[in-house]
Amino acid sequence: MTIRAALFDMDGTLVDSKIDWLAFRGEVDVPSDGRPLLAQLDELSEEERARGLEVLHRWESRGAASGEMIDGAEEILALLRGHDVACALVTNNSRSSAELVIERHGLRFDTVLTRDDGEVKPAPDLVLQALERLGVKPDEAVFLGDAHLDLLAAKAAGIPETILIATPDWMLEHIPAEMRYTAVKTLREAHAEIERLIGNNSSRR
Ligand SMILES: [Mg+2]
Protein backbone atom coordinates (compact mmCIF):
# COMPACT_ATOMS: atom_id res chain seq x y z
CA MET A 1 0.00 0.00 0.00
CA THR A 2 1.37 3.40 -1.03
CA ILE A 3 -0.07 6.36 0.85
CA ARG A 4 -0.64 9.43 -1.32
CA ALA A 5 -3.24 11.24 0.78
CA ALA A 6 -4.25 11.61 4.42
CA LEU A 7 -7.79 12.74 5.19
CA PHE A 8 -8.41 14.30 8.58
CA ASP A 9 -11.49 14.88 10.64
CA MET A 10 -11.28 18.24 12.47
CA ASP A 11 -12.99 18.35 15.88
CA GLY A 12 -11.55 15.89 18.36
CA THR A 13 -8.86 14.79 15.89
CA LEU A 14 -6.69 17.83 15.14
CA VAL A 15 -8.45 20.44 17.25
CA ASP A 16 -9.99 20.20 20.69
CA SER A 17 -13.06 22.39 20.27
CA LYS A 18 -14.13 21.46 23.81
CA ILE A 19 -17.60 20.64 22.56
CA ASP A 20 -19.29 18.00 24.68
CA TRP A 21 -21.56 16.38 22.08
CA LEU A 22 -23.42 14.35 24.70
CA ALA A 23 -24.25 17.56 26.59
CA PHE A 24 -25.24 19.19 23.30
CA ARG A 25 -27.62 16.34 22.56
CA GLY A 26 -29.15 16.88 25.99
CA GLU A 27 -29.63 20.59 25.30
CA VAL A 28 -31.39 20.04 21.97
CA ASP A 29 -33.13 16.90 23.25
CA VAL A 30 -31.98 14.29 20.72
CA PRO A 31 -30.80 10.83 21.77
CA SER A 32 -27.24 9.58 21.47
CA ASP A 33 -28.11 6.73 19.09
CA GLY A 34 -24.99 6.82 16.90
CA ARG A 35 -26.52 8.76 14.04
CA PRO A 36 -25.12 12.12 12.90
CA LEU A 37 -26.58 15.06 14.72
CA LEU A 38 -27.66 16.84 11.54
CA ALA A 39 -29.78 13.86 10.49
CA GLN A 40 -31.38 13.83 13.93
CA LEU A 41 -32.15 17.56 13.78
CA ASP A 42 -33.81 17.01 10.38
CA GLU A 43 -36.38 14.77 12.03
CA LEU A 44 -37.56 17.38 14.53
CA SER A 45 -40.43 19.79 13.99
CA GLU A 46 -39.53 22.90 12.02
CA GLU A 47 -39.44 24.99 15.18
CA GLU A 48 -37.32 22.52 17.15
CA ARG A 49 -34.98 22.06 14.20
CA ALA A 50 -34.46 25.81 13.85
CA ARG A 51 -33.66 26.04 17.56
CA GLY A 52 -31.34 23.02 17.34
CA LEU A 53 -29.41 24.54 14.42
CA GLU A 54 -29.12 27.83 16.28
CA VAL A 55 -27.67 26.07 19.33
CA LEU A 56 -25.35 24.04 17.04
CA HIS A 57 -24.01 27.18 15.35
CA ARG A 58 -23.45 28.81 18.73
CA TRP A 59 -21.54 25.80 20.10
CA GLU A 60 -19.52 25.35 16.91
CA SER A 61 -18.58 29.03 16.58
CA ARG A 62 -17.48 29.08 20.20
CA GLY A 63 -15.50 25.88 19.63
CA ALA A 64 -13.82 27.28 16.50
CA ALA A 65 -12.98 30.57 18.22
CA SER A 66 -11.57 29.09 21.42
CA GLY A 67 -10.48 25.54 20.54
CA GLU A 68 -6.86 24.45 20.77
CA MET A 69 -4.68 22.30 18.56
CA ILE A 70 -4.30 18.79 19.90
CA ASP A 71 -0.77 17.87 20.92
CA GLY A 72 1.08 16.47 17.90
CA ALA A 73 -1.22 17.94 15.22
CA GLU A 74 1.38 20.24 13.63
CA GLU A 75 3.96 17.44 13.67
CA ILE A 76 1.78 14.86 11.95
CA LEU A 77 0.81 17.34 9.20
CA ALA A 78 4.50 18.28 8.74
CA LEU A 79 5.49 14.61 8.56
CA LEU A 80 2.96 13.99 5.78
CA ARG A 81 3.93 17.10 3.84
CA GLY A 82 7.59 16.16 4.11
CA HIS A 83 6.77 12.92 2.32
CA ASP A 84 4.60 14.54 -0.38
CA VAL A 85 1.42 13.07 1.06
CA ALA A 86 -1.55 15.36 0.30
CA CYS A 87 -3.64 16.42 3.32
CA ALA A 88 -7.38 17.02 3.31
CA LEU A 89 -9.76 18.21 5.99
CA VAL A 90 -13.13 16.42 5.94
CA THR A 91 -15.46 17.73 8.62
CA ASN A 92 -19.18 17.67 9.42
CA ASN A 93 -18.67 21.17 10.83
CA SER A 94 -19.62 24.28 8.83
CA ARG A 95 -17.31 25.93 6.30
CA SER A 96 -17.21 29.12 8.35
CA SER A 97 -16.06 27.25 11.49
CA ALA A 98 -13.52 25.20 9.51
CA GLU A 99 -12.09 28.34 7.89
CA LEU A 100 -11.83 30.06 11.26
CA VAL A 101 -9.97 27.07 12.73
CA ILE A 102 -7.60 26.92 9.72
CA GLU A 103 -6.88 30.64 9.96
CA ARG A 104 -6.46 30.75 13.75
CA HIS A 105 -3.96 27.90 13.77
CA GLY A 106 -2.21 28.66 10.46
CA LEU A 107 -3.06 25.23 9.02
CA ARG A 108 -2.66 24.29 5.38
CA PHE A 109 -4.69 21.64 3.58
CA ASP A 110 -4.74 20.69 -0.08
CA THR A 111 -8.52 20.60 0.06
CA VAL A 112 -11.24 21.22 2.66
CA LEU A 113 -14.68 19.60 2.66
CA THR A 114 -17.41 20.63 5.09
CA ARG A 115 -21.12 19.97 5.56
CA ASP A 116 -21.75 22.90 3.22
CA ASP A 117 -20.24 20.81 0.39
CA GLY A 118 -22.40 17.68 0.51
CA GLU A 119 -23.83 14.85 2.56
CA VAL A 120 -22.14 14.56 5.97
CA LYS A 121 -20.27 11.54 7.39
CA PRO A 122 -21.13 8.62 7.78
CA ALA A 123 -22.12 9.07 4.11
CA PRO A 124 -19.04 8.70 1.88
CA ASP A 125 -19.84 11.85 -0.11
CA LEU A 126 -17.36 14.32 1.43
CA VAL A 127 -14.62 11.67 1.54
CA LEU A 128 -15.15 10.80 -2.14
CA GLN A 129 -15.13 14.47 -3.09
CA ALA A 130 -11.83 14.95 -1.26
CA LEU A 131 -10.25 11.95 -3.05
CA GLU A 132 -11.49 13.17 -6.41
CA ARG A 133 -10.14 16.67 -5.86
CA LEU A 134 -6.77 15.21 -4.87
CA GLY A 135 -6.76 12.71 -7.74
CA VAL A 136 -6.11 9.87 -5.30
CA LYS A 137 -7.69 6.41 -5.27
CA PRO A 138 -9.36 5.21 -2.04
CA ASP A 139 -6.73 2.52 -1.50
CA GLU A 140 -3.98 5.15 -1.65
CA ALA A 141 -5.47 7.10 1.26
CA VAL A 142 -5.61 6.87 5.02
CA PHE A 143 -8.34 8.45 7.17
CA LEU A 144 -7.64 9.84 10.64
CA GLY A 145 -10.58 10.57 12.90
CA ASP A 146 -11.97 10.19 16.38
CA ALA A 147 -15.57 9.10 15.73
CA HIS A 148 -17.45 6.08 14.43
CA LEU A 149 -18.86 8.41 11.75
CA ASP A 150 -15.32 8.93 10.39
CA LEU A 151 -14.67 5.20 10.13
CA LEU A 152 -18.06 4.46 8.55
CA ALA A 153 -17.59 7.23 5.95
CA ALA A 154 -14.04 6.14 5.11
CA LYS A 155 -15.10 2.49 4.73
CA ALA A 156 -18.10 3.45 2.58
CA ALA A 157 -15.71 5.41 0.35
CA GLY A 158 -13.47 2.35 0.00
CA ILE A 159 -10.54 3.56 2.13
CA PRO A 160 -9.01 0.44 3.69
CA GLU A 161 -6.95 2.13 6.40
CA THR A 162 -8.53 4.24 9.15
CA ILE A 163 -6.83 5.34 12.36
CA LEU A 164 -9.24 6.20 15.18
CA ILE A 165 -7.78 8.34 17.93
CA ALA A 166 -9.10 8.31 21.53
CA THR A 167 -12.61 7.30 20.45
CA PRO A 168 -15.08 7.44 23.35
CA ASP A 169 -16.77 4.18 24.37
CA TRP A 170 -20.27 5.35 23.37
CA MET A 171 -19.03 5.84 19.80
CA LEU A 172 -17.20 2.49 19.70
CA GLU A 173 -20.55 0.83 20.40
CA HIS A 174 -21.76 2.00 16.99
CA ILE A 175 -18.97 0.29 15.03
CA PRO A 176 -19.91 -3.08 13.47
CA ALA A 177 -17.88 -5.87 15.08
CA GLU A 178 -16.34 -7.02 11.79
CA MET A 179 -15.10 -3.56 10.77
CA ARG A 180 -11.29 -3.27 10.86
CA TYR A 181 -9.41 -0.15 11.93
CA THR A 182 -6.38 0.91 13.94
CA ALA A 183 -7.21 2.30 17.38
CA VAL A 184 -4.73 4.59 19.13
CA LYS A 185 -4.95 6.67 22.29
CA THR A 186 -3.19 9.84 21.10
CA LEU A 187 -2.23 11.74 17.98
CA ARG A 188 1.40 10.95 18.88
CA GLU A 189 0.57 7.25 18.55
CA ALA A 190 -1.15 7.97 15.23
CA HIS A 191 2.09 9.69 14.17
CA ALA A 192 3.95 6.41 14.68
CA GLU A 193 1.33 4.55 12.61
CA ILE A 194 1.70 7.09 9.80
CA GLU A 195 5.50 6.72 9.94
CA ARG A 196 5.02 2.98 9.52
CA LEU A 197 2.71 3.45 6.50
CA ILE A 198 5.07 5.96 4.90
CA GLY A 199 7.91 3.52 5.54
CA ASN A 200 6.08 1.09 3.25
CA ASN A 201 5.93 3.86 0.61
CA SER A 202 9.70 4.33 0.49
CA SER A 203 10.49 0.63 0.46
CA ARG A 204 8.48 0.29 -2.77
CA ARG A 205 10.46 2.94 -4.59
MG1 LIG B 1 -14.42 14.42 15.36
User: For the ranges 17-26, 54-63, 108-117, 184-193, which has the lowest average pLDDT?
Assistant: 17-26
Within the chain, all domains assigned CATH 3.40.50.1000 are found at: 5-16+68-204
Q: Residue 33: which pLDDT band, with cuts at 50, 70 and 90?
A: confident
Q: Give pLDDT tens digits for 79-94.
A: 999 999 999 999 999 9
- Provide the 3-class DSSP secondary structure of residue 60: helix
The fold of 5-16+68-204 is Rossmann fold (3.40.50)
Instruction: Report the predicted TM-score, pTM, of the whole model to 2 decimal places.
Output: 0.93
- Taking the centre of ligand 1 as the mean of its atom positions, its distance from the CA of residue 200, in whole angstroms, is 27
Q: Give pLDDT tens digits for 142-158.
A: 999 999 999 999 999 99
Q: What's the average model confidence in pLDDT over 57-84?
A: 95
The residues, ordered by sequence, that sit 6+ positions from 198 with a Cβ below 8 Å of its Cβ are: 3, 79, 80, 83, 85
Q: What is the largest CA-CA distance in the chain?
A: 58
- Taking the centre of ligand 1 as the mean of its atom positions, its distance from the CA of residue 136, in whole angstroms, is 23
- Taking the centre of ligand 1 as the mean of its atom positions, its distance from the CA of residue 204, in whole angstroms, is 32
- Taking the centre of ligand 1 as the mean of its atom positions, its distance from the CA of residue 148, in whole angstroms, is 9
DSSP code, position 86: E
- Taking the centre of ligand 1 as the mean of its atom positions, its distance from the CA of residue 17, in whole angstroms, is 9
- Taking the centre of ligand 1 as the mean of its atom positions, its distance from the CA of residue 146, in whole angstroms, is 5
- Taking the centre of ligand 1 as the mean of its atom positions, its distance from the CA of residue 14, in whole angstroms, is 8
Alpha carbon of residue 171 to chain centroid: 14
